[in-house]
């Protein structure tokens, strides 16, 4: 989810650089082992000025990757970098980070070449609702002309671009479909070539019903975490321009009436199963009607603000006591106080729910953080 958002931001910045006639290179995490801060698909854009966007680590590798990226954009060939962040003094070319992990990063030109050729189409697809895969040959003995990434749509759409040969494209398309099903990015050997499959999952939507002041930090944090956020309320003043960032949709709607088209779209197939909701109108009657409507639409997660007794009363009124899709009081038990802390607790619960994780301290986790 976050990789899709980051990729869209990188491509948006690339469009600005292209208009200004400036160069850039893109670094992408393609493989990790052991302890690693970012997963495969994480991106780090390096501009010729030295400005950057995104990350490939927690700050350990960026300085080295930046220097290599500047060489790539100056006319060098793409490079596959191998980092061992173990505790020895001679790891990571003498950095001695002590992080006990391995990271592989692919650096390629971004303002020209295959990625630049496909960038407009990729931006278009990322603005939509489809999941997709971007496949890139990593090894050095690529055929001429240089291989292009390949885009694959989940609905059986045709691939765009080419990895160099029709047979390699066919094999890559088969592998990409399997990767889409698993939702995981990674490297596979296809037709004797090392190919990185960057899976950009379909976006997840968060509906916030109630646009009071406590909805503002929740909307902002959720958008930063990668959700596409829609805030709905019946009071126009709470939806006025400037109350929420431009990227957040603000719609006027009442639960008992036909919703705005933007909201209706999210409450019907195929988007409803991918949407989550938090109800916080601060009105018992409106919370009840939104809850009724959201459960009928088939959402898998509906959070309710307020004490447990209030949630249980609402569920009893609707005849859906014990519905496992309802989380109330919404949020993790972080001892939160005030709208911003409560918003953090809610977003943390949303991420745990989506990732199928039982919330606990990372210090208690014995396996790798990104395992499973």
Q: Are strands 228-233 and 101-109 parallel, antiparallel or unpaired?
A: unpaired
pLDDT of residue 371: 57
Domain ranges of the chain: 2-109, 128-200, 205-354
Low-confidence residues in the chain, pLDDT < 50: 89-98
Pick from 296, 314, 308, 225: nearest CA to 259: 296
pTM for the model: 0.90
pLDDT tens-digit map of 167-179: 999 999 999 999 9
Give the burial string for 5-25 (b: 16+ CB within 10 Å, else e).
bbbbebbebbeebbeeeebbb
Q: What whole-number distance in Å separates Cα of residue 73 and Cα of residue 66?
A: 11
Q: Per residue, what are the HEC states of 183-201? A: CCCEEEEECCEEEEEEEEC
pLDDT of residue 259: 65
pLDDT of residue 143: 53
Alpha-carbon dihedral angle through residues 295, 297, 300, 305, given to the nearest 10 degrees: -50
pLDDT tens-digit map of 295-330: 999 999 999 999 999 999 999 999 999 999 999 999
Alpha-carbon dihedral angle through residues 252, 256, 257, 261, given to the nearest 10 degrees: 50
Query: Where do we find the tokens 């007794």?
Result: 309
Q: What whole-number distance in Å separates Cα of residue 136 and Cα of residue 150?
A: 7
pLDDT of residue 91: 44
pLDDT of residue 360: 87
Burial zone of 285 (CB within 10 Å; 0-12 exposed, 13-18 middle, 19+ buried): exposed
Phi, psi for 108 (deg, rounded to 5): -140, 155
C-alpha angle 290-127-247 in degrees, rounded to nearest 5: 55
The CATH classification of domain 205-354, taken from the options 3.30.70.370, 3.40.50.150, 3.40.50.300, 3.40.50.720: 3.40.50.720
Strand locations in the chain (E): 24-34, 43-47, 52-54, 79-84, 101-109, 132-137, 150-152, 186-190, 193-200, 205-209, 228-233, 249-252, 275-279, 301-304, 326-327
């Amino acid at each position: 989810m976050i990789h899709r958002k980051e990729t869209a931001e990188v491509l948006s910045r690339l469009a600005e650089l292209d208009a200004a006639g400036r160069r850039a290179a893109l670094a992408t995490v393609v493989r990790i082992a052991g302890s690693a801060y970012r997963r495969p698909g994480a991106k780090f854009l390096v501009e010729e000025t030295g400005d950057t966007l995104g990350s490939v680590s927690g700050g350990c590798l960026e300085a080295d990757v930046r220097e290599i990226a500047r060489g790539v954009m100056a006319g060098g060939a793409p490079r596959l970098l191998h980092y061992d962040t173990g505790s020895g003094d001679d790891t990571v070319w003498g950095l001695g980070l002590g992080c006990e992990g391995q990271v592989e990063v692919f650096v390629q030109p971004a303002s020209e070449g295959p990625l630049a050729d496909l960038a407009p189409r990729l931006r278009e697809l990322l603005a939509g609702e489809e999941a997709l895969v971007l496949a890139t040959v990593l090894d050095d003995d690529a055929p001429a002309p240089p291989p292009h990434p390949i885009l694959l749509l989940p609905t059986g759409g045709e691939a765009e671009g080419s990895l160099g040969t029709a047979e390699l494209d066919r094999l890559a398309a088969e592998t990409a479909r399997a990767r889409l099903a698993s939702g995981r990015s990674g490297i596979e050997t296809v037709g004797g070539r090392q190919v990185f499959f960057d899976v950009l999952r379909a976006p997840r939507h968060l509906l916030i019903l109630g646009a009071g002041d406590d909805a503002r930090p929740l909307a902002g944090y959720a958008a930063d975490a990668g959700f596409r956020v829609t805030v709905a309320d019946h009071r126009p003043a709470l939806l006025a321009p400037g109350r929420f960032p431009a990227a957040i949709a603000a719609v006027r709607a009442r639960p008992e009436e036909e919703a705005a088209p933007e909201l209706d779209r999210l409450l019907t197939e195929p988007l409803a199963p991918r949407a989550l909701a938090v109800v916080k109108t601060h009105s018992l009657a409106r919370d009840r009607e939104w809850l009724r409507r959201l459960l009928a639409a088939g959402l898998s997660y509906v959070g309710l603000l307020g004490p447990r007794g209030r949630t249980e009363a609402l569920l009893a009124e609707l005849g859906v006591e014990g519905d496992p899709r309802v989380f109330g009081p919404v949020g993790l038990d972080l001892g939160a106080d005030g709208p911003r802390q409560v918003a953090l607790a809610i977003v943390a619960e949303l991420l745990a729910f989506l990732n199928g994780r039982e919330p606990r301290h990372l210090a208690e986790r014995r396996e790798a953080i990104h395992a499973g």
